[in-house]
Amino acid sequence: MSDTVRTALIFPGQGSQEAGMGRDAAENNKEAMELWKKAEKISGLPLRELYWDSGDAVAMADTRALQPALTVVNMTLWMEYASKFGSDSVCCAAGHSLGEYSALAAARVLSPEQTLEAVSIRGQLMADADPDHIGAMAAVLRLDLQQVETIVREAAEDDCLNIANYNTPTQIVVSGSKPAVERILGLAKQSKGRAVLLPVSGAFHSPMLRNAAEELKKVLDRLTWNRPVFPIYCDVTGCPAMDGESLRDLVSVQMTSSVRWMHIVENQWKDGVRRWIELGPKGALTRMVDPILRAVDSDAEFEARNIGSLAQMQD
């Protein structure tokens, strides 16, 4: 595709962590290494030791460490991308859950230091939100949205249960109390679909995180929210926002709201985006673009590319 094609940045969130992430960029860029050091100071955790040397998958999945570490990786990849292609090479950005904070940093809504402060506190709050482990999440596969909405209503009964992530037309994540999520497993199977429990520490993106969200809002309210240099398509609405105050308000309720990723990509397509560049490990969001757009336009022509390391930046 032409270099002039409208390009969206997309940033992954929790679940995209991997051993060694961000090391190549940090060892080749002093500014990137300084970001790791700042993240360690703000979070109080030995992030480089954990992600570069330990190989401990359980520890790397701990949201207290994961949120600042993955955000550093996403931000340093954006620094490299902007240096190589220019910040004006993209027309908008979005991020999946945690990844939305990387989008805020890329669009200069928050400074790197404020972004790291926010995600470090967010990670701690989310880790502590469910000490009794009464919440759970599950991915529902091979059922369309209407079918998922039907079994969510049936499974909820008197328990908390809602759609947490609208990922693709046939990949929906539900969140709520363990009994309700466990009922989803059986109902999905009865409907010729499949549901898989996710290895998370709570019912993220559900009302069960209300107290944690209220504490995070206090932090977000004291940060400086600048006007973005390009629009950010927000998880809560799926639509673009172009002023700092609106972004602050939307991010403040993100933790208890659904992530409307499918709607974000659909709206970006309608607004003329034809290339998606995912900056972050694993490429989960890159793989979502095709099924989302095929449901909108079976003949859609687009490019979706994952850049998770310096080596991929050079390809």
The catalytic residue among 16, 43, 97, 201 is 97
Q: Is 99 exposed, middle or buried (0-12, 13-18, 19+ CB in 10 A)?
A: buried
Judged by phi (left if over 0) then psi (alpha if -120 to 50, else beta), residue 93 lies in beta
* Nearest in space to 96 (alpha carbons), one of 282, 269, 270, 242: 282
Stated pTM of the model = 0.97
Q: In angstroms, rounded to a whole number, what is the distance separating the alpha carbons of residues 124 and 164? A: 20
| Cα 29-55-72 angle, rounded to 5 deg | 35
Which residue in the list 175, 177, 205, 309 is annotated as catalytic?
A: 205
| Segment 45-86, tens digit of pLDDT | 999 999 999 989 999 999 999 999 999 999 999 999 999 999
Q: What is the DSSP string of 205-270?
A: TSGGGHHHHHHHHHHHHTS--PPPSS-EE-TTTSSEE-SHHHHHHHHHTGGGS-B-HHHHHHHHHH
96 is known as an active-site residue: no
Per-residue model confidence as pLDDT tens digits over 253-288: 999 999 999 999 999 999 999 999 999 999 999 999
CA–CA gap between residue 238 and residue 251 (Å, rounded): 12
The yes-or-no answer on residue 97 being catalytic is yes
Do the beta carbons of residue 79 and residue 29 sit within 8 Å?
A: yes
pLDDT in tens, 10-26: 999 999 999 999 999 99
Position 314 scores a pLDDT of: 79
